[in-house]
Amino acid sequence: MKIFFRYLHSDFQKIKRSSILWVHILVPIAGIVLFLLSYVIKEQAAGSMVESFLGSMASAFPIAIALVCSMTAEQEADAGNFQGLLTSPSKLLPFFSMTVMLLLLGFGSSLLAEFGFKAGLAIFLHQEPFGMKFYLYGDILIYVSNLFIYMFHLFLSLRFNKNVSIGIGIVESLLSLLLLTGLGDEWWIFIPCSWALRLLKPFFQLGGVIPMNPEIKAAITICCIETVLIFAFVIIWFTRWEGKKTEE
């Protein structure tokens, strides 16, 4: 365990002065500012603004994940053609460390976005339509729903190139919006990019609670199964990977 934390500390040191860290800080702040400004201009109801903000955050998550996974893979490639990942006595430790780093950064960034938006509404606009638990549960819902996307794009970024990962991320974000309509009624539970937005819908309707009806239960079960499967696939693939990737 001590060795793992050394790797994790090393990974955070690598990104200390890189754009990877700043993307996780500046993008949420920019989103908060834009939504607060739009609130002032349009004079929407605060509850509606929160719903729009979290929905936009959920739909943008695949693109953001694709971007940071691509940047991380490029950093490893530039630092010796992935030798930092591939030459360790325990090959999986540096991979797990890099994955945990990305997941921690993503969770921290999403918390910054949600609670920053809540603070902005309270401080600048004197509006507090929801409590702390609502934002925390909403953040966990969005984040956990995207764990599959993280592993998928980490694989794409290592195996192929940034254009493939970012291109698919854009498609996933657009598809998540499309599947929110009636077109996705029968299929959304099987498609990872649709989980966050589709689960947010009843979450808002019930004021921070997800109803455990048969469809939601099926979606959560499939989400868990597919997430475990993608983690297992990427781990097995990585143990056989030799650092080769499709170039741009």
Is the residue at 218 inside a domain? Answer: yes
Note the pLDDT tens digit of each residue in 198-225. 999 889 888 888 888 899 999 999 999 9
245 is a domain residue: no
Mean pLDDT value of segment 72-98: 81
How much is the CA Rg of the chain, to the nearest whole Å? 19
**Would 30 be classed as within a structural domain?**
yes
Q: How far, in Å, CA of 98 to CA of 86, rounded? A: 12
Query: Structural domain tally of the chain?
Result: 1
Q: For 54-77, what is each residue's pLDDT tens digit?
A: 999 999 999 999 999 999 998 888
pLDDT of 245: 60
CA angle 244/65/181 to nearest 5° reads 125
- pLDDT greater than 70 at residue 38: yes
pLDDT of residue 244: 64
Question: Could you tell me what percent of the chain has a pLDDT over 90?
Answer: 58
State the residue range of the domain holding 75.
2-240
Burial of 27 (0-12, 13-18, 19+ CB in 10 A): middle
- Region 227-240: what's the mean pLDDT? 94
- Smallest Cα–Cα separation from 122: which of 46, 212, 231, 206? 46
Q: Is residue 234 part of a domain?
A: yes
Residues 124-135: pLDDT tens digits?
888 888 889 999
| Residue 247 included in any domain | no
108 found inside a domain: yes
Determine the pLDDT at residue 83.
Answer: 74
Of 34-43, 85-94, 171-180, 226-235, give the lowest mean pLDDT range: 85-94
Res 71: pLDDT: 92
DSSP string, 152-202: HHHHHHHHS-HHHHHHHHHHHHHHHHHTTSGGGTTTGGG-HHHHHHHHHHH
Residue 246 within any structural domain of the chain: no
In a domain, 215, yes or no: yes
The pLDDT of residue 248: 47
